Amino acid sequence: MSLQVASINSGSNGNCYYIGNDTDAVLVDAGISCREVEKRMRRIGLSMQKVKAIFISHEHGDHIKGVDVLSRRFGLPVYLTEKMQRYVKVDGSLVRYYSPAEPVLIGDVTVTAFPKFHDAIDPHSFVVSHSGTHVGVFTDIGIHCAQVIEFFRKCHACFLEANYDEAMLENGRYPYHLKNRIRGGHGHLSNRQALELFCAHRPEFMSHLFLSHLSRDNNDPQLVSDLFAPHAGNTQVVVASRYSESAVYHISGTGSTVVPGARLSQASLF
pLDDT tens, position by position, 68-92: 999 999 999 999 999 999 999 999 9
Q: Which helix (H) or strand (E) holds 143?
A: none
Entry pTM: 0.93
pLDDT number for residue 253: 80
Across the chain, what does the average pLDDT equal?
A: 93
3-state secondary structure of 240: coil
Using a pLDDT cut of 90, give the percent of the chain over it. 90
CATH at 223: 3.60.15.10
Whether the CA torsion 255, 261, 266, 268 is positive or negative: it is negative
Total domains, the chain? 1
Reported confidence tier of residue 175, pLDDT bands at 50, 70, 90: very high
Q: What is the pLDDT of residues 184-235, one digit of tens each?
A: 989 999 999 999 999 999 999 999 999 999 999 999 999 999 999 999 999 9
Q: Identify the burial level of 181 via C-beta atoms within 10 angstroms of its C-beta, where 0-12 means exposed, 13-18 middle and 19 or more buried.
A: middle
Measure the CA–CA gap between 143 and 118, rounded to whole angstroms.
Answer: 9
Range of the domain at 125: 3-269
Instruction: Identify the H or E element spanning 219.
Output: none
Among 248, 13, 254, residue whose Cα is nearest residue 156: 254
Let me know how many helices (H) and strands (E) the chain has, helices first. 10, 15
Looking at residue 55, its pLDDT comes to 98
